[in-house]
A and B are shown apart, each in its own frame.
Chain A
Amino acid sequence: MRSILTIILNDLKIFFSQRGNLLGLLVIPVLLTLVVGWSIGQIGGGGPTRLRVDLIDLDRSAMSAQMIEDLRAANDALVLCPLDNDAEDFCRLGEEPLHLERAIERARSGRTSALIVIPAGYADALENFERTAVGFYSLSDPMQPDPVLQSLNAVLQRASTASMIPGVAGALLDNLTSAAQLPPIEGAARNSFLRALYSRSQQLLTDRPSPVSFRVADSNGDSSSVIDNGFNQSAPGMGSLYVMFTVLGGMAVLLRERRQWTLQRLIALPLSRAQILGAKIGVYFTLGMIQYAIVFAVGAAVGMEFGSSPFAFLAVMAAFVLCITALTFALAPWIKSEGQASGLVLLLSLSLAPLGGAWWPLEIVPDFMQTIGHISPVAWAMDAFHDLIWYNGRFPDVLPEIAVLVAAAAVLFAIGIRSFKYE
């Protein structure tokens, strides 16, 4: 073990003694992480993306007005048309009024993210603790989280809860007066008491922080990604890209070691080939982890989130680096020149990284490209990072991605170790 560590430390010393490597490990990835993170933040995180939502209020009551207000508070990205239309006609209404038929047609054609219809009698139904149906029209996939629907559900849940409280309180009042043999409270006094309860309960619910968050938006009918914090995408993405650059660069170094005979000199030492191979694998695994650590440290400094499971995060990093290290050892024996190695590093990194969603989230590409993208180990790593960062995932949530990366590493190592050239 001591020999393995000595080789790893020696190789790291050689790696860090070259200024070009420091540039590739430290300066460029950090700059790219910041630039890409900032750019993505401008798209999604610099301010809420606006979602065009038609709203038809057939009730026109104080309660429907309250619901509209609650909707705005729940999600400030919603532009309720025509109420919140701006001077530039974000709602794209033109001169025509928005009536129900037109709003339905707009929602069905995808020109709006959704249509919400508050039915007539909405306030009465709530006050009387009766059923009512709010209309929701959208082209969005019902299996996918929809920020408009999530916001509406949250608001309706509050309204339902606020409506339920006077109902329960009325029954409680009746039971109390009956049990205490008091005269029943009826008429205006009873209604006034229950309405005051409703208002108070609604106030209390409104004052609570909104539980709604949104992730994917469809603002103009065009698909685009919205990410609260651009560094949540750029740090894992650029980190994965530069792990590939750094670790795959080992192909050229392994070739050089063979050509300058330092590898053969190691073999002539009292060391087993397994020790030498283990040390060389350890070198590139360590470099990959250092590369990730640098990028994530910068990400942390600029506000990147890491989710709530650092162990799972570390496991994903390790699984991806292991997979790329294995790829390096599987390819190294077939490399004939350092120029060929450099070309292959560029080709693999610059194809597998964008294909796997290192530059932009895979969610924004068509389904078939998402499927193809999973040829790349980057896609599995990014899926796992997204689960951890965006959905607060735990270790079991990313276990499938880790398993895929480790299985790929095992296969590639089997190929690499069998064909590794010592001479």
Chain B
Amino acid sequence: MQTMVETRNLRKTYNRPDGSTIEAVKGVNLEIRQGEIFSLLGPNGAGKTTTISMISGLVEPTEGDATIGGHSITAEPMAAKRLMGFVPQEIALYPELSARQNLAFFGRMYGLGGKALNRRVDELLEFVDLADRQNDRIDTFSGGMKRRINLVAGLLNSPPLIYMDEPTVGIDPQSRRRILDTVKLLRDEQDMTVLYTTHLMEEAQELSDRVAIIDHGEIIAMGTQDELTQQVGEEDRLEFTIGEQEIAETLFERIQQKTPGVTRVLYNPTEQLSDDSSESVPALMTVFAKRGRTALPQILQELDSAGVEIQSVTVREPDLEAVFLALTGRALRD
């Protein structure tokens, strides 16, 4: 399969006001094939947006380069940009203009005009089911509708490649479902290559042909979902939500040693949402076990005998969340 995007040692360093530097992206190497949905999965602040911004020519890399369809984004930016559409995380539309005016403007910027432009705008408005609202100003749209127009604004030039930077942030489940279906349609019906960034494991899992997991500016794992889950073995993940109480380390050691099939126990204590908030994220104990459902009764017994108050128990099959947890020791939500 032909390579659509390739990055070589892509690195970005920012200067802080105090004179020190921060390395947001630390030598990222990616190879995205034509016609696949490739997800960049990582928690907030992992370097996803910086990486995608460098690949799309928004931010100049401190080091390294990216090629789009063989064109270097630094040496031949115009040729590279002609092959791509861009859907930023923000609603990058003019709120004072109507949906149609926005699309027509960006279409003209791609060199479209006359009937071809009108036809393309009509197609895209139909595609996201907003033809009836085409003459309404963007600032009168709901969040989900804005997201849909934001998405098709990146498709005006019918590019072979589209970047989508967390396109479902802050919208209702129905609109989110519609966007995810649209992304799949782009690949399945238009053979487009999609580079999709998200911090939501479910989205990456549902959409992606391949996934790269990024953390602290580094790619820590890359491959198909099967390849990635194999990295953590065929283990189930048992998640215990625990009330606000102190738990001795010896309890975790005891569970790991005495329960057959248990390979590892991780513990994330209770977290305040903010300094001035009374709300908190409950403590989470994660147990990795080869046969999770078999091990569950014994673990519950151990917890009960130690006086631990359990709020909920979830048994998860191996997934990307488990991969991230196994590789970083943290949940994606962290």
Chain A residues in the interface with B (C-beta under 8 A): 3, 6-7, 10, 13-14, 17-18, 259-262, 264-272, 422-423
**Would you call A270 and B90 a contact (CB within 8 A)?**
no
**Would you call A423 and B58 a contact (CB within 8 A)?**
yes
- Which residue of chain A is the closest to B104 with respect to CB atoms? A10
- In angstroms, Cα B94 to Cα A266, docked, is 12
Residue from the list A7, A264, A269 in contact with B81, Cβ < 8 A: A269
Tell me how far the C-beta of A229 lies from the nearest C-beta in chain B, rounded to whole angstroms.
40
User: Contact mask B62-96 → A, CB, 8 Å, 1/0?
Assistant: 00000000000000011001101010111111111
Interfacial chain A residues near B105, Cβ < 8 Å: 6, 10
**Would you call B82 and A270 a contact (CB within 8 A)?**
yes
Report if A268-B86 is in contact (Cβ < 8 Å); known contacts: A14-B97, A423-B58, A423-B59: yes
- In angstroms, Cα B96 to Cα A17, docked, is 7
Tell me how far the C-beta of A306 lies from the nearest C-beta in chain B, rounded to whole angstroms.
35
Stretch at the interface among B106-114, B127-135, B206-214: B106-114
Q: Which residues of B, 211-240, contact A by the 8 Å Cβ criterion?
A: none
Question: Can you name 12 A-B pairs with beta carbons within 8 Å?
Answer: A6-B105, A6-B109, A7-B109, A10-B97, A14-B96, A260-B90, A261-B90, A262-B94, A264-B58, A264-B92, A265-B106, A267-B58
Interfacial chain A residues near B95, Cβ < 8 Å: 260
In the assembled complex, B57 has its CB within 8 A of some CB on chain A: yes
- In angstroms, Cα B58 to Cα A423, docked, is 7
Instruction: Name the residue in A7, A266, A267 with the highest tally of chain B Cβ atoms < 10 Å from its Cβ.
Output: A267
- In angstroms, Cα B106 to Cα A262, docked, is 10
Report if A272-B78 is in contact (Cβ < 8 Å); known contacts: A14-B96, A265-B153: yes
**Would you call A265 and B81 a contact (CB within 8 A)?**
no
Residue from the list B81, B84, B90, B94 in contact with A14, Cβ < 8 A: B94
- In angstroms, Cα B84 to Cα A267, docked, is 12
Interfacial chain B residues near A270, Cβ < 8 Å: 77-78, 81-82, 110
In the assembled complex, B56 has its CB within 8 A of some CB on chain A: yes
**Would you call A264 and B82 a contact (CB within 8 A)?**
no
- Which residue of chain A is the closest to B93 with respect to CB atoms? A262
**Would you call B96 and A268 a contact (CB within 8 A)?**
no
Interfacial chain A residues near B89, Cβ < 8 Å: 261
Tell me how far the C-beta of B6 lies from the nearest C-beta in chain A, rounded to whole angstroms.
19
Report if A268-B109 is in contact (Cβ < 8 Å); known contacts: A14-B96, A261-B88, A261-B90: no
Residue from the list B57, B92, B109 in contact with A260, Cβ < 8 A: B92
Tell me how far the C-beta of B322 lies from the nearest C-beta in chain A, rounded to whole angstroms.
34
- In angstroms, Cα B95 to Cα A15, docked, is 12
Tell me how far the C-beta of A335 lies from the nearest C-beta in chain B, rounded to whole angstroms.
17
Interfacial chain A residues near B109, Cβ < 8 Å: 3, 6-7, 266, 269, 271
* New contact pairs (7) apart from A6-B105, A261-B91, A268-B57, CB-CB < 8 Å: A17-B97, A262-B94, A265-B106, A268-B81, A268-B86, A270-B110, A272-B78
Interfacial chain A residues near B88, Cβ < 8 Å: 261, 264-265, 268
Interfacial chain B residues near A271, Cβ < 8 Å: 109
